[in-house]
């Protein structure tokens, strides 16, 4: 496959940035999207051009680092998958592919397709955890958790914190992410003690970081690689109001 790429290039945070046309030649349909970028970067390096900077780590849909907007869709056209799980067979020979970073005030561009998502870390630091007193470890099965509660907690805990929800939302809202973290802990006995204080602190930090509010258009759920339900936003609102 031979493809035409339009890639966002930005030298640093203070640079204005621009779209650059790049040719991707001899691309196998079996490659992942990130492998395609690796091939493009090899070609650019051989030509003496600085390679495209992009985030990646596990390349198994686990870490959430592969944050790209592809043809206007966070993580690309395949639902329920991260960019690293997107394969080039989803495209056709001769296609033009537009590749951009996450677009949000709270996610400033560092370089090219790399953004600073430290805002998510600060939200977690504000309250997305269960405080632990040191001492003897409790028996693993000492606190029974009902099946329904466990399943709801696990569904919310599937969030990998990639930020696609923010990138897809016209308001750059982080409510799906924050809702997932709050709902996950609120469903477990260990998290119930701090649930109300946790909601207040995490929502306050979310607002402080400059994220927008939810207008219930479900863009976040549509692009989430783990298909987190917007029901966690409703649960977050209930926790906050309590």
pLDDT band at 8 (very low <50, low <70, confident <90, very high): very high
Whether the pLDDT of residue 122 is over 80: the answer is: yes
Buried b (16+ CB within 10 A) or exposed e, 192-213: eebbeebbebbbebbeebebbe
Q: What is the pLDDT of residues 77-96, one digit of tens each?
A: 999 999 999 999 999 999 99
Q: Are residues 102 and 164 in the same domain?
A: no
Mean pLDDT over each residue of the chain, to the nearest integer: 95
Q: What is the mean pLDDT of residues 112-119?
A: 98
Q: What is the mean pLDDT of residues 140-155?
A: 86
C-alpha 60 chain-centroid distance: 14
Expressed as residue numbers, the domain containing 144 is: 118-241
- Could you give phi then psi for residue 61, rounded to 5 degrees? 75, 25
Cα–Cα distances in angstroms (integers) from residue 109 to residues 9, 14, 70, 93, 230, in the given order: 10, 9, 16, 30, 27
Residue 237 shares a structural domain with residue 162: yes
Do 103 and 35 fall within a single domain?
Answer: yes
Q: In this structure, are 203 and 132 located in the same domain?
A: yes
- Would the pLDDT of 221 be above 80? yes
The total domain count for the chain is 2
In the structure, what pLDDT confidence band is assigned to residue 131 with cuts at 50, 70 and 90?
A: confident
Together in a domain, 224 and 139: yes
- Answer whether residue 138 shows pLDDT above 70: no
pLDDT of residue 134: 54
CB 221 within 8 A of CB 167: no
Last residue of a domain, one of 110, 144, 159: 110
pLDDT greater than 80 at residue 136: no
Could you give the angle at the alpha carbon of 126 between the alpha carbons of 125 and 132, nearest 5°? Answer: 70
Q: Domain check: are 87 and 159 in the same one? A: no
- What angle do helix axes 175-186 and 118-127 make, rounded to 10 degrees? 30
Positive or negative torsion for Cα 222, 227, 229, 233: negative
Domain boundary among the residues 86, 110, 134 is at: 110
Place of tokens 């390096």: 45
Residues 224 and 123 in one domain: yes
* pLDDT tens for each residue of 21-66: 999 999 999 999 999 999 999 999 999 999 999 999 999 999 999 9
Percent of the chain clearing pLDDT 90 (strictly above)? 90
- Model's pTM, two decimal places? 0.93
Residues 10 and 106 in one domain: yes
114 pLDDT exceeds 60? yes
- Look at residue 132 in the predicted model and tell me its pLDDT: 72
CATH number for the domain spanning 165: value is 1.10.1060.10
Q: What percent of the chain has pLDDT over 70?
A: 96
pLDDT greater than 70 at residue 130: yes
- Would the pLDDT of 142 be above 90? no
39 in the same domain as 135: no
């Amino acid at each position: 496959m031979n493809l035409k790429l339009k890639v966002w290039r930005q030298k640093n945070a203070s640079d204005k940035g621009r779209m650059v046309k790049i040719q991707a030649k001899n691309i196998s349909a079996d490659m992942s999207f990130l492998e395609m970028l690796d091939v493009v970067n090899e070609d650019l390096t051989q030509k003496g051009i600085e390679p495209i900077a992009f985030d990646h780590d596990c390349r198994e849909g686990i870490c959430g680092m592969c944050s790209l907007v592809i043809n206007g869709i966070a993580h690309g056209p395949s639902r329920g998958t991260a960019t690293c799980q997107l394969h080039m067979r989803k495209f056709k020979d001769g296609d033009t592919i537009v590749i951009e970073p996450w677009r949000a005030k709270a996610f400033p561009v560092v370089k090219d397709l790399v953004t600073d998502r430290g805002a998510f870390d600060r939200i977690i630091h504000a309250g997305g955890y269960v405080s632990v007193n040191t001492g003897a470890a409790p028996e693993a099965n000492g606190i029974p958790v009902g099946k329904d509660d466990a399943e709801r907690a696990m569904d919310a805990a599937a969030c990998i914190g990639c930020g696609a929800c923010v990138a897809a939302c016209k308001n750059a809202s982080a409510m799906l992410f924050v809702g997932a973290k709050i709902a996950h802990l609120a469903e477990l006995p260990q998290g119930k003690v701090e649930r109300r204080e946790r909601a207040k602190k995490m929502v306050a930090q979310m607002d402080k970081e400059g994220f927008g509010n939810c207008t219930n258009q479900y863009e976040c759920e549509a692009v989430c690689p783990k298909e987190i339900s917007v029901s966690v936003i409703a649960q977050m609102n209930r926790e906050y109001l309590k």
